[in-house]
Amino acid sequence: MFGMAFLNFKRMVKSSPLTVFVLIGIELLGAIMVIMTYGIVRNIFTEETKVYPYLTRSFVISIPSGLSMDALYEKNDRLLSSLDRGCRSISVSGNTEINSESHSIGGLEYGSSQYLSDDANHYNFEFQSLAKGERIAAVSSEAFPLLDVGDTLEIDGMGFIVVYTDKDIPDINKTLACDVLVPYKALPKSCNINRYALELDDMPTKAEISKISASIKELFGTGVELTEPTLPELLVQQFNAMSKLLCVIVLFTVANSSAMAYMFVIYKRRKWLTAVKMCGAENNQCIEIFFIEILCIASACFMLGAVFSKYVLIPRYTEVYPAFALVFDRQSFIYLFISFILASLIILAVDIQEYINRSVADMQRRSK
């Protein structure tokens, strides 16, 4: 039966190559649509990804015992060298002595000029000044009421030019969170750092989050607390049901389109069907031949679609939404393959049976 189906398909390719090309194109496109729809729907409606990366671009840790500047620079360099992606910004805060008084101090640095925040611009910090570690400072008017822009603030024997002060600033959001803010590379050696924050330039994947968290714990001796937002259990169940329903709708829509295309191919083979019936072939045998054909075509197209999706489309989607690839594994591809084949065969079973019965009836009327 497989041999008969192969010879029949080979004859069809020779007689109607364009029709076969269209059929294969529809099947291939349908397989890709089913695979990608499954990924999109699963990411939107299920708790499987738990919106995991949304709160984890930034890694913030507290260091109760404090760190010296030399230790901080060494640990930060080791952490950055272990990253698989770029760094958007680094900010630290701690304490230091200024004029024999303890003051809070912060350090700031950006990975590139495109990441420079509105706050940094507001404080008159330019990217080049931050990158070079120039001795400039933004100061709090509450801590240093006598300082104005252009004055010099001495910290640990070094003079910092004041480029910003929040005197007479009505916007409370623009007030400094610390007494002094300077470029990260210009932080005085006397600083005792008790807070470290690293922000990546893009959302990390779940695997990268675990790797970065492990590196931070190894270097700084303290873990990163990651928050995973969760959905109410009943809502999750409803979303899961919706996702499966939507996948089924898309699946049967694609399968129906493929079946219509294949039925058009079968209509063009009326003469072959008539000849086979005249030779004594039963209806079930004709149906088996058609089933084997569509099974082979659909299987081959799904395999090609799966390879194209896995190595071309899914990585591109993952660049935008890192959690996209998490829902695809071997089991999901097997589930989609079986569902795709069954949907195609179920719809074809009805159409082919009706068509063959009608063809037989037409032949019987002509013979009378």
In 3-state terms the chain splits into helix, strand, coil percentages (rounded to 5) of 60, 15, 25
Beta strands in the chain (DSSP E): 58-67, 87-98, 101-110, 136-139, 152-155, 158-165, 180-183, 192-200
pLDDT, residue 175, reads: 65
The tokens of 121 are what?
């611009």
pLDDT, residue 192, reads: 93
β-partners of residue 181 are 106, 138
Q: Is 183 helix (H, G, I), strand (E, B) or coil?
A: strand
**Which residues fall within 8 angstroms of residue 281, CB to CB, at 6 or more apart?**
none
Cα separation of 128 and 151, whole Å? 21
SS3 letters across 244-267: HHHHHHHHHHHHHHHHHHHHHHHH
The tokens of 313 are what?
């489309």
pLDDT, residue 253, reads: 76
Tens-of-pLDDT digits for all 368 residues of the chain? 555 555 555 666 666 677 677 778 878 888 888 888 878 777 665 544 444 444 467 888 888 888 899 999 999 999 988 887 788 899 999 999 998 899 999 999 998 888 888 888 888 899 899 999 999 999 998 889 899 999 999 999 999 999 999 876 655 555 678 999 999 999 999 999 999 998 888 777 767 787 888 888 888 887 776 555 454 555 555 555 566 667 677 777 777 777 777 777 667 666 666 666 666 666 677 777 777 777 888 888 889 989 998 888 888 877 766 667 777 888 888 888 888 888 777 777 766 666 666 655 554 554 44
Give, in degrees to the nearest 5, the angle at Cα 351 between 349 and 355. Answer: 115
Would you say 58 and 198 are in contact if contact means Cβ atoms under 8 Å apart? yes
Count Cα neighbours of 246 within 13 Å in the Cβ-side half-sphere.
Answer: 19
pLDDT, residue 73, reads: 92
Would you say 114 and 202 are in contact if contact means Cβ atoms under 8 Å apart? no
Report the DSSP pairing between strands 101-110 and 192-200. unpaired
